[in-house]
């Protein structure tokens, strides 16, 4: 079917997801698998439902597009915020994805992996590109994805105005990058420190002279 073809691009099919066993998987295996599933599910949802037309429809899309994985239902929101963000509230959510006693909590990471925000693709042009992630190469792949996103427009700095321009992805999930703006910028600096802009950023952090400017986000469909 068309759905099977879309999923097949990412190494998974609806049938294989239902039968997969998550027990005994390493952290790297779980992260890689759920990133790949998430990106495949987004494609599946766009193919079957069409692209969301506004913010409300988009919110419902990520809440409702789901698949059965190892006997349990996982929506896009639950994969991102429940599993990969260690069961943290998502944008506009009033509660955590997995309630107390939910069996899916056994799959949730113990702490958020911030680099996944530069690996998950929401089908919009403002999102990172889709790549296939492998457990044995995961750390290197996530580092590359983060560096690529930041160096391709997700980050810039102006030494004259002291303005640091950032993708709103870092604003929406600010808690994953540290407890303060300075913590977040230090995190970013770790991925751009070998560049001229990275060195300027480090100076602004050291002197506490930075001003963060959030970029507009392009929600248009990434074909």
Q: State the Cα–Cα distance between residues 54 and 72, nearest whole angstrom.
A: 29
Q: State the Cα–Cα distance between residues 35 and 84, nearest whole angstrom.
A: 8
State the pLDDT at residue 3.
47
Q: How many CB atoms lie under 10 A from the CB of residue 63?
A: 16
State the pLDDT at residue 1.
41
State the pLDDT at residue 9.
52
Nearest to 79 by CA among 22, 37, 43: 37
State the pLDDT at residue 167.
96
State the pLDDT at residue 105.
97
Give average pLDDT by consecutive 10-residue segment, the chain, 223 residues: 48 75 93 95 90 90 94 96 96 92 96 97 86 96 96 95 96 95 97 93 95 92 72
Q: State the Cα–Cα distance between residues 9 and 28, nearest whole angstrom.
A: 20
Name, in order, each residue with C-beta under 8 angstroms of 8's C-beta and a sequence gap of 6 or more.
none
What is the 8-class DSSP label of residue 193?
T
> Rounded to a whole number, what is the largest CA-CA distance in the chain?
58
Q: State the Cα–Cα distance between residues 96 and 21, nearest whole angstrom.
A: 24
Residue 181 structure tokens: 């703006």
State the pLDDT at residue 127.
86
What is the 8-class DSSP label of residue 153?
I
Report the half-sphere exposure of 167 (CA within 13 A, side-chain side): 21
State the pLDDT at residue 25.
93
Beta bridge partners of 163: 158, 211
158: left (phi over 0), alpha (psi -120 to 50) or beta: beta
The SS3 of residue 221 is strand
Q: What is the 3-state secondary structure (H, E, C) of 44-110?
A: HHHHHHCCCCCHHHHHHHHHHCEEEECCEEEEHHHHHHHHHCCCCCCCCCCCCCCCCCCHHHHCCCC
């Amino acid at each position: 079917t068309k759905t099977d073809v879309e999923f097949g691009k990412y190494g998974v099919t609806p049938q294989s997801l239902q039968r997969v066993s998550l027990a005994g998987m390493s952290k790297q295996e779980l992260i890689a698998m759920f990133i790949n599933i998430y990106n495949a599910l987004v494609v599946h949802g766009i193919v079957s439902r069409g692209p969301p037309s506004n913010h409300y429809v988009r919110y419902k899309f990520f809440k409702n597009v789901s698949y059965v994985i190892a006997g349990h239902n996982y929506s896009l929101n639950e994969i991102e915020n429940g599993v990969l963000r260690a069961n943290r509230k998502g944008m506009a959510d009033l509660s955590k994805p997995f309630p107390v006693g939910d069996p899916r909590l056994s799959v949730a990471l113990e702490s958020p992996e911030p680099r996944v925000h530069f690996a998950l693709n929401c089908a919009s042009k403002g999102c990172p590109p889709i790549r296939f992630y492998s457990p044995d190469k995961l750390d290197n792949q996530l580092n590359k994805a983060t560096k690529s996103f930041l160096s391709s427009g997700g980050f810039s700095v102006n030494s004259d105005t002291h303005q640091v321009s950032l993708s709103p992805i870092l604003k929406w999930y600010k808690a994953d990058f540290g407890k303060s703006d300075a913590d977040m910028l230090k995190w970013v600096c770790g991925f751009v420190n070998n560049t001229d802009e990275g060195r300027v950023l480090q100076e602004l952090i050291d002197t506490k002279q930075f001003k963060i400017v959030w970029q507009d986000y392009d929600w248009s469909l990434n074909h």
